[in-house]
Structure 1
Amino acid sequence: MATNYVKYAQLITGKSNYARRMKRLSNKIFGEVATPTNATSLKVVQMFESRPLHTNEEIIHYYPRHIETHALTSKLREYGLFRDEHQDFVEEMKRLRALRGKVKVWRQKPDGEKNE
C-alpha cells in the first residue's frame, strides 16, 4: 500500500496541468524558482539568495592590520632582516641633499602666528 506522500510524489511528477501547478506552488512555498528559467536569471536568483556582503566576515576584515604590519617591518628593517626599498631611497635622497648643503630647516613660528 502506498502512503499519501508517495501518491502525492507520483502525482507531482506527472505531466498534467494539476501537477505543473502543484510543482510551481511547492517551489514558491520553499523559496525555489517557481517557473523554469534560463541560466542568467538563475544567477540573479543565486545573488539574492547569497549572504549580504556587509555581514560577511571575510569581506569586512579583508585588509590587513596596516599599523602593526608597518611597525613590524620597520623593526625588522632596523635589525637588517627586511629591506624597504622606498625608505632606502628616501634616506639616500636626504643624504645626498645634506652633501650638497640643501638641508631643509623647519622653523617653529611664534605662538601668535597662524600656520597657513
Structure 2
Amino acid sequence: MSGPSSYAVRMARLGAQIFGEVVRPTDTRSLKVVRLFREQPLAKRKEVYDWYPQHKIYYAMTQKLRFLGLFRSEHAGTRRARSDCRLCVIRTNPLCEIRDETK
C-alpha cells in the first residue's frame, strides 16, 4: 500500500479538529500562530484581572480592629467628628424639626 486510506486521513483530520490540534501539516510560522491562539486570552488570566488587592476584606479587617481599639485611622476619626458636629448643629437649630429627645 502506498499510504493511509482516504477514510483514515479524514478520521485523523476530524480527530485533530475535535481535540484542537492542527488539522493539516503546516510550517513553523503557522504553528506559532496556532500556539498563540491556543493560550488563554489576557483578559481571562487571573494575574491580570485579579491585580488589585481585596479592598472589601481590608476594609472589614480595619473596621473590626478599630472597633476593638487596635487600629486608629485619622481620616475615619475626622469624618466621625465632622458628622458629630453636623448633628450638633442640627439638634441646636430651633427651626429644625429633628431635635435631641434627651433634653
TM bucket, shorter chain: 0.3 to 0.5
TM-score scaled to structure 2, two decimals?
0.44
TM-score scaled to structure 1, two decimals?
0.40
Greater relative CO (CA pairs within 8 A, separation 6+): 2
